[in-house]
Chains A and B, each alone.
Chain A
Amino acid sequence: QVQLKESGPGLVQPSQTLSLTCTVSGFSLTSYNVHWVRQPPGKGLEWMGRMRFNGDTSYNSALKSRLSISRDTSKNQVFLKMNSLQTDDTGTYYCARDQLNFDYWGQGVMVTVSS
């Protein structure tokens, strides 16, 4: 069955770089797009960016200067890297499969930016 699972550090120091991995199963990264979405505690959802099935990427313009999304199709993994983290980057980070809408989501990984 389709599954996505995020992994990464729970705590990142301010100004450091966040590295997250989304490991997928039950579908191919060369057939579906995968997106990253984040959610500050108690708040709404923010689209961050997308890895397209053909390897192209697109980013939220508000994050574009700090954000990079890549993948390793042999490992069924999509990666997120975001630099210069600040406290308002604290939140839960999700990856989700794209069927235009997001039909499957990972469980999310909570990231706290704090010294």
Chain B
Amino acid sequence: DIQMTQSPASLSASLGETVTIECRASEDIYSNLAWYQQKPGNSPQLLIFDANTLADGVPSRFSGSGSGTQYSLKINSLQSEDVASYFCQQYNNYPRTFGGGTKLELK
């Protein structure tokens, strides 16, 4: 199974700040990576797929990058509505595996 290691596990940032979340795969996943946002009490929502493509309706302050085994999610100009947990997921192989998640809070 491909292991997805996500960091940090938690993050505290101020409004307007830029934050970056990292995800490392245990083997090359050829950019077959998605990022999901999960707000408290809600189901996950797709943010980014194919490592760097924004899903429909996702604000442009979100961006994804990376290749091979290293990927990142960047949020520019943090807004209050971005408080959530974020998960990466690889879909290169079965079983589909997720990172452990990053809980983003406001400072």
Give the B-binding residues of A (Cβ under 8 A): 35, 43-47, 50, 58, 60-61, 94, 99-103, 105-108
Contacts and interface: CB of A to CB of B under 8 A. Distances in A.
Interface string B74-106: 000000000000010101001111111100000
Contacts, number: 49
B98 A61 contact: no
Interface stretch (B17-25, B43-51, B65-73): B43-51
Chain A interface mostly: strand
A8 to B, nearest CB: 15
Interface of B: 1, 32, 34, 36, 43-46, 49, 55, 87, 89, 91, 94-101
B99 A101 contact: no
Nearest to B103: A42
Given A60-B95, A101-B34, A45 B45 contact: no
Chain B interface mostly: loop
A45 to B, nearest CB: 4
A35 B43 CA distance: 14
Nearest to B48: A101
Q: Which of B1, B49, B95, B96 has the most CB of A within 10 A?
A: B96
Given A101-B34, A102-B46, A103-B55, A47 B96 contact: yes
Given A44-B87, A45-B87, A101 B46 contact: yes
Contacts of B101: 43-45
B73 to A, nearest CB: 14
A105 B45 contact: yes
B98 A46 contact: yes
